[in-house]
Structure 1
Amino acid sequence: MAAEYEGGMSAPATPGTPTPLMTSLRVDSSLSYDRKSMPRCMCLPLDAPTWGAPHTCLTHFSAPDISLTRKLGAEFVGTFILIFAATAGPIVNQKYGGVESLIGNAACAGLAVMIVILSTGHISGAHLNPSLTIAFAVLRHFPWIQVPAYIAAQVSASICASFALKGVFHPFMSGGVTVPSVNTGQAFALEFLITFNLLFVVTAVATDTRAVGELAGIAVGATVMLNILVAGPSSGGSMNPVRTLGPAVAAGNYKSIWIYLVAPTLGAVAGAAIYTLVKLGGEGEEEVPPRPVRSFRR
């Protein structure tokens, strides 16, 4: 594949150039990490003197970076908003005799996911979910070195949001805890499957250049709503370990909590992996070169 220059001239791409996950003509509103900050080899017609002579091949060309501190701050605030909204719906539903209903609970979580992705996705990627962070790291869409920090931000935000809700709605905090109303096997299967659905969609809008990445917030928020409508009455529709962990700590209710830690993580890895297989195995696609070894040091 050649890089097109003005006047119709072209030059072969540098060997080993990785295929970009998002094209330059699209807004990178995905849930993946900021791929523009990753070092890569590119051949571009750079005319500015500060960048070098025209048509110079530059190695390790990178866009302005976002510090990890800023990313963690955005991840903390985004997760706080999500847990506060997603947990407040069921609490209000319990306190006021079912005014929210299942549809209202699903809308609280789905709308929260949508607005957080649209507002912080360009900063931190808006993971909001340790299972998503781990799944993306497993499939090399996110650096492992940042995984512990992201999970720490997500867990702490969840606990803070849950205790804020406890202070406001005490003693109705128990309404926000996700506990199964079916047997253990059924709850595990439901959480696995709905998280599989979620990560299948997330991986599509976050990593596939053919997907409509600009609508990532709407697509993911709608998937969250759909999953809660399906699994909410049975397993609580968590899909997210911190959606369960924070309220469980605040309410002191740890019933079957292992389900909500293990099943979403396995489902997330499976969903992301299956979409990756579908994306790379479709007929008529150009052969995608293997990913080069990348350094995540910035």
Structure 2
Amino acid sequence: MTPYLAEFIGTAVLLYLGCGVNANVSLKATYGNGSGWIVISFGWAMAVFVAVFIAADASGAHLNPAVTLALAVAKNFPWAEVPGYVLAQIGGAFFGAVLAYVQYRPHYATEPEPGTILGTFATGPAIPDTLANVLSEVVATFVFVLAVLFLAGPSFGEQEVGLGSLDALPVALVVLAIGLSVGGTTGYAINPARDLGPRIAHAVLPIRGKGGSNWSYAWIPFFGPLLGAALSAGAFILLAA
């Protein structure tokens, strides 16, 4: 399996399970309806665990443009590989969200609230406040990516830059900690592909009564994590010196 295919498949699995737990908790008449934030946080953490385990050996399991950026800055991951990784991640995220929709299609057909439908795909602020929302994504991603950098392999040329299969559990636990502790402000995208791919899926899928895709907010979960990743890469270079 090529690295690009591994990133596509891994990110597709991540979003199939992640959007799946969102749908299971939020949509009407599912067995998980109303089970709450803790179930969502655990579901996303386990989604990360499975996705990292699948993609680790072939690509280093970046699964996130913010992680790819940080590894390029701090660990000499080849910049020439970055665009291919990012496109594979966004494409995989779109595909995974579509699969989750197919799984829950009858439930989407009976859901009357457009905001609930969008929330199963993309993130959004609990309280709209541009500065606070940006800071939430920047700081949460900073913590996440810094942990990933300390877990990841050495610089390119010594071995594959990224995560190994044994890193799946600790990375999942970091995601769980972020979700439970600070995820309630913006839904903790901490991954530009995680938000953009499913938001595109929401925009194009034929979901009755879905409403708009809130593109005016979409720049925050895209650029916020990238800024957090760049800051974490700089901090890692200073701390590891």
Question: Could you tell me how far apart the structure 2 residues matched to 1:169 and 1:175 are?
Answer: 14
The amino acid that maps onto 1:85 is L
Q: Which residue of 2 aligns with 1:278?
A: 239
Higher-Rg structure is: 1
Instruction: Kindly indicate whether the alpha-carbon contact (under 8 Å) linking 2:25 and 2:34 is maintained by their aligned counterparts in 1.
Output: yes
Identity fraction in percent: 29
The amino acid that maps onto 1:104 is V
Of 167, 178, 181, 2:126 maps to 181
Q: Deviations over 1:10-59 (max 9, x none)?
A: xxxxxxxxxxxxxxxxxxxxxxxxxxxxxxxxxxxxxxxxxxxxxxxxxx
Q: Which residue of 1 aligns with 2:137?
A: 191
Q: Which residue of 1 aligns with 2:37?
A: 102
Of 17, 31, 35, 1:85 maps to 17
Question: What is the DSSP-based 3-state SS (H/G/I as helix, E as strand, rest coil) of the residue aligned with 1:195?
Answer: helix
RMSD: 2.2
Instruction: Kindly indicate whether the alpha-carbon contact (under 8 Å) linking 1:90 and 1:100 is maintained by their aligned counterparts in 2.
Output: no
Matched, 1:238 2:189: yes
Of 214, 225, 228, 2:176 maps to 225
Question: What is the DSSP-based 3-state SS (H/G/I as helix, E as strand, rest coil) of the residue aligned with 1:239?
Answer: coil
Q: Unaligned stretches of 5+ in structure 2?
A: 112-116, 156-163, 204-212
Q: 1:141 to 1:110 in 2, by over 3 A?
A: farther
Question: Could you tell me how far apart the structure 2 residues matched to 1:238 and 1:109 are?
Answer: 11
Q: Which has the higher contact order (CA 8 A, sep 6+)?
A: 2
Of 142, 146, 167, 1:216 maps to 167
Matched, 1:120 2:55: yes
Q: 1:74 to 1:261 in 2, by over 3 A?
A: same
Q: CA deviation at 1:90?
A: 1.4
Q: Which residue of 2 aligns with 1:266?
A: 227
Which is strand-richer, 1 or 2? 1
Question: Could you tell me how far apart the structure 2 residues matched to 1:237 and 1:251 are?
Answer: 18
Q: CA deviation at 1:103?
A: 1.3
Q: Deviations over 1:157-212 (max 9, x none)?
A: 11111222223324254231211122111111111111001111000011469xxx
Q: TM-score, normalised by structure 1?
A: 0.65
Q: TM-score, normalised by structure 2?
A: 0.80
Question: Could you tell me how far apart the structure 2 residues matched to 1:219 and 1:181 are?
Answer: 28
Of 150, 174, 177, 1:204 maps to 150
Question: Could you tell me how far apart the structure 1 residues matched to 2:34 and 2:47 are?
Answer: 19
| Matched positions, count | 210
Q: 1:255 to 1:247 in 2, by over 3 A?
A: farther
Q: Which residue of 2 aligns with 1:286?
A: none
Q: Which residue of 2 aligns with 1:29?
A: none
Instruction: Kindly indicate whether the alpha-carbon contact (under 8 Å) linking 1:208 and 1:279 is maintained by their aligned counterparts in 2.
Output: no
**Moved runs in structure 1, 4+ residues, more than 3 A?**
96-100
The amino acid that maps onto 1:174 is L
Which is helix-richer, 1 or 2? 2
Question: Could you tell me how far apart the structure 1 residues matched to 2:76 and 2:23 are?
Answer: 35
Question: Could you tell me how far apart the structure 2 residues matched to 1:237 and 1:98 are?
Answer: 21
Q: Deviations over 1:224-274 (max 9, x none)?
A: 111111233220111001111122112231240000111100101211221
Matched, 1:251 2:183: no
Question: Could you tell me how far apart the structure 1 residues matched to 2:41 and 2:175 are?
Answer: 7
Q: Which residue of 2 aligns with 1:46?
A: none
Instruction: Kindly indicate whether the alpha-carbon contact (under 8 Å) linking 1:166 and 1:250 is maintained by their aligned counterparts in 2.
Output: no
Structure 1, 240-249 or 134-143: larger mean CA deviation: 134-143
Question: Could you tell me how far apart the structure 2 residues matched to 1:219 and 1:128 are?
Answer: 15
